Structure 1
Amino acid sequence: MLSKYLLLNHIKTFFLLLMVLIGILYAYMIGEVFLVFKNRNPEVVLSYSLNFLPTAFFYSGAFVNALALLVALRRLFQRKIDLLIQSFGISPLRFFSFAIFFSLFLSIFNLFGSYWLYPQSQKRLFSIEKEYKKAKEIEKGIVRNLWLTQEKNGEKEFYNFELVDLSTGKVHGFYLLKVKDGSITQVATAETGEWHGEMLDFPEASLKDLSTGEEKLQKLTFEFIDLSQIGPLAEKPEHLSMRELFVLSLLGKGIGINYRQYAYELSKRTLTSFLPLFMSLIVGWVYIRWRSLKLGLFALVVSFSAHWFFINLIRSTIENTNLSLPLILLLYAPIPILSLKGLYDLSKGFRV
């Protein structure tokens, strides 16, 4: 009965605080639309508002959840309910289960939202801002200056496409470089061509054999990866679904793209999704252990700031080093370790 009361109280506080925070953000956002946007018609404002909500929820939900937890625990301590619970020999973890349950639900909800909903909302926000705020036309389904590589029989091939139209498969400005044993063996160029499925076809290409100096014009056709797998490369990593990120992370090495940026985005979304659970354990443990609201607020601010510090540190390390991704992700270890420490201490009892 007590757990149900605490859970309902926590949920009501969470949504109340969330509405206040989103209301403040919306006031700023609406002001920006009317002051900065080139187009202020109601449809643009409505679309911008609806797509702003999921993004705001994803990035602020963990903070609001931890703050609501502090409010719920403070009420509990003010009414001396914690002393009553202690007198019956009930561990803090047992009555704290309401926060763990809701935080876990919130984390799983965020994980599912990260799969498609949140990236799509961010993509639409980006499109609206670019089109109506910066007054720039959005190119859809176009990949520019694409570099890909593959290796065949000890020979490495570098492909460059100035422009690929994903809707029609038209290719403009093709360049091929073949390298064997550190030396360039062949160069090929073509003005236009077509990419359908796994086949690339150039009606007229200039081929030059550097070992003999021979140069000729001929039709060039070869098999490569499917055009549909190139589609996600036209998007920013934060606008891709989790499935697309996973596929590009696996394909990256084989086709010579920077797969680490997609692996990073996949890791960032997963860690941010589970932040509500991490923060609730850390903040709840600190507040219950030391019975201090100031320390609880300090733990809230520090854990939330530490999350984004480690996320940015991981990104910087990925971009500037060649360390393996699993090793780099260890930089984030302090947050889950502290949350596990909190879980362990809460299970021991009040006097920890």
Structure 2
Amino acid sequence: MPAEWTLTASAFNWTPDVIRAHRGSTEIAAGVVSAGIAPVIEVELGQLWRSFPVPSDAEVDHFREQLTNAGGRVSIVGASIDDWRDATHRRTESERLAFLLPQVRAAHRLGADGIRLPIGQAGPELTARLLPILHELEVTLYEEVQGQQSPTSPHAADYAAVAALDDPRVRLLVDISMLMPALPITYLDALAAGGVPAALIAELAEQWRAPETLEAVVGLLRAGAVPGPVHTLFMNLLVRFGRSDAADLAGIAPLVGGVHLKFWDLDDRDGRISRPIAEFGELLRAAGYAGTLTSEWGGHEWLDDDPAEMTRAHLALAQAALGRRR
């Protein structure tokens, strides 16, 4: 891989451990480094401290010290904005900024490269007010695109806004869940075990990207025929799983400042995991990309595998795919 690329791991992969709470969340995150899985990690601020969104300096400093002692550091921190004060009142732009600023300052204090938000969530007014602070603290805002948020989706205007801004402190973060030539085998097994009709399972397995398959998914949902136990899991078909090709992202490659190498399981039959990584890697090379490529496991939603084993294996697979040249 190019020397300017850094393979990292996301502490999000250990979400089941955070939920079990047998260890502290910062201990779990620092353990990714101390276990030798990755020296650079992404973290979710909302998972680290109960004091979120306003962690104390002491909390932040203690976690940074834990990482430093383990020989690691933070790359990007997942931030968020609660747009509602209560059930009926939206926050003003000033209130939204006040909600986000402590997270930006915590990222800076951690020594992170930047913060991550969903694309378009900040919006033009908040971004304009935030920019001087980002430059002052040398923190980058990464606007994340994933799943079905392709450049031609309803988010096209948000992509255009990042391009028009043309500021190095606002970049795109691409989650390659956008590039799924086929669905994870274990996901299809989970849907089948939950009672989703066999005919639809076969269609999803064989024709994931066909428009007719999407129509069948929406049809089952509108008919109220999705089994209750897998209803939330089923919604991934409309939100988290993308249908794009790497070539569809060629136009935005120069705006990319971060990458999530999202994976769900490790079944790479037909190159369904490695091929999108290799193809997107070619785009990044051509664009002169310099930044992190982070292993992020989303399959713990239906799998009970060990996060450390899954992440180690995925990092090895990703490194091989990113080193592949056509």
Give the TM-score taking structure 1 as reference length.
Answer: 0.21
Give the TM-score taking structure 2 as reference length.
Answer: 0.22
Larger radius of gyration: 1
